[in-house]
Amino acid sequence: MRKKVVVGNWKMNLLRDDAGHRIGQLKELIGAKCGTECDVEIGICPTFLSLATAVDASRGSLIGIGAQDVFWKESGAFTGFLSASMIEDAGAKYVLIGHSERRGRFGKLEVPESTLGFFAETNETVNLKLKAVLGSSLVPIVCIGENLSEREAGDTDRVIGEQMAGAIEEVDASDLARVIFAYEPVWAIGTGKVCDSVEANRVCGVVRQCLPESVRDVIRIQYGGSVSPANAQELFSQPEIDGGLVGGASLKPEDFMQVIVAASSV
Ligand code: PEP
């Protein structure tokens, strides 16, 4: 039985005080509902600058803190980047890799062609980041998902297959066991258009089939894309969906708590 895992992605939101305050509120809500044990693993990924504050605020709770990105080199002349060991050193537990808002063009934001390099995560860079993170104690959360035109062209499974093959190339099956994958259809992220739960379950099954047989049944696969208190239980009751990566709804501790409870009751 895979333990459900629900992780909030706070994206580029909240200054440090507010981040610490909301972690404190969530800590109280979790404590009141679950005490010191919970059948759901819980994480929050604030901005890099709020990592230390969030780690402090989460002490003594069941909340693990995560970063939203990482660079694959350990140190050196890489202005503006952070390595896995730096994120580990800040006290984090998780790190997101390959979020669609870092792959190529933002799904929702029109940016000039000349800025695309800034968001230029590819399957190869995801693979480099995954290998670097597996050399640390961090738990990688690797995001994959098709965009709207790929879905409309009937290309979803091919895109997922390519993203998965690229991400896990040359990674040992034994190392993969601690990786979490997040199926996040780009068209469902931040749009309020949640993927139908049966279809989300089907694609999470496709993701699972891309994994080596020896670890296929133990690896957790989350769904992400407009998860809310209203749809979480339906999504999390699907057999292939082992929890959620939650954006907007994770910013409000009460809403995020309801999403956690939905994962716990299925
Ligand atoms: C996300 O940031 O990964 C995400 C799924 O966002 P939202 O829940 O807001 O769609």
CATH number at residue 17: 3.20.20.70
Residue 115 binned pLDDT confidence (cut-offs 50, 70, 90): confident
As a whole-number percent, the residues of the chain with pLDDT over 70 amount to 97
Based on the structure, what is the number of domains in the chain?
A: 1
pLDDT tens-place string over residues 33-70? 998 899 999 999 999 999 999 999 999 999 999 999 99
The verdict on the CB of residue 184 being under 6 Å from ligand 1 is yes
pLDDT of the residue at 165: 98
DSSP per position, the chain: -PPEEEEEE--S---HHHHHHHHHHHHHHHHHHHTT--SEEEEEE--GGGHHHHHHHHTTSSEEEEES--BSSSSSS-TT--BHHHHHHTT--EEEES-GGGBSS-SS----GGGGGGG-B-HHHHHHHHHHHHTSS-EEEEEE---HHHHHTT-HHHHHHHHHHHHHTT--HHHHTT-EEEE--GGGTTTS-PPPHHHHHHHHHHHHHTS-TTTTTT-EEEEESS--TTTHHHHHTSTT--EEEESGGGSSHHHHHHHHHHHHT-
The verdict on the CB of residue 66 being under 6 Å from ligand 1 is no
- Please determine, for residue 179, whether its predicted confidence score (pLDDT) is greater than 90: yes
Q: Token pair 């808002």 is at which residue?
A: 101
Residue 227: inside a domain: no
pLDDT of the residue at 109: 61
SS3 sequence of 40-56: EEEEEECCHHHHHHHHH
Residue 226: inside a domain: no
Ligand 1, residues 6, 9, 10: which to mutate, most atoms within 8 A of Cβ? 9
184 is catalytic: yes
Ligand 1, residues 226, 235, 250, 251: which to mutate, most atoms within 8 A of Cβ? 226
Q: Which residues contact 109 (CB under 8 A, 6 or more apart)?
A: none
pLDDT tens-place string over residues 227-252? 999 999 999 999 999 999 999 999 99
Mean per-residue pLDDT for 182-205? 95
Quote the CA–CA distance of 132 and 137 in Å, as a whole number. 10
Distance 58 CA to ligand 1 centre (A): 22
Residue 187: inside a domain: yes
Residue nearest atom 6 in ligand 1 by C-alpha distance: 247
For the CA of 96, the nearest atom of ligand 1: 3
The verdict on the CB of residue 224 being under 6 Å from ligand 1 is yes
Residue 119 binned pLDDT confidence (cut-offs 50, 70, 90): confident
Structural domain range at position 31: 4-220+234-264
Residue 105 binned pLDDT confidence (cut-offs 50, 70, 90): low
- Please determine, for residue 126, whether its predicted confidence score (pLDDT) is greater than 90: yes
The verdict on the CB of residue 14 being under 6 Å from ligand 1 is no
Residue 104: inside a domain: yes
Distance 225 CA to ligand 1 centre (A): 5
Distance 190 CA to ligand 1 centre (A): 5
Q: Find the catalytic residue in 41, 101, 150, 184.
A: 184
- Please determine, for residue 265, whether its predicted confidence score (pLDDT) is greater than 90: no
Residue 97: inside a domain: yes
- Token duo for residue 147: 């965009």
Mean per-residue pLDDT for 110-128? 82
For the CA of 182, the nearest atom of ligand 1: 3
Distance 181 CA to ligand 1 centre (A): 14
Residue 159: inside a domain: yes
Residue 54: inside a domain: yes
Residue 106 binned pLDDT confidence (cut-offs 50, 70, 90): low
Residue 189: inside a domain: yes
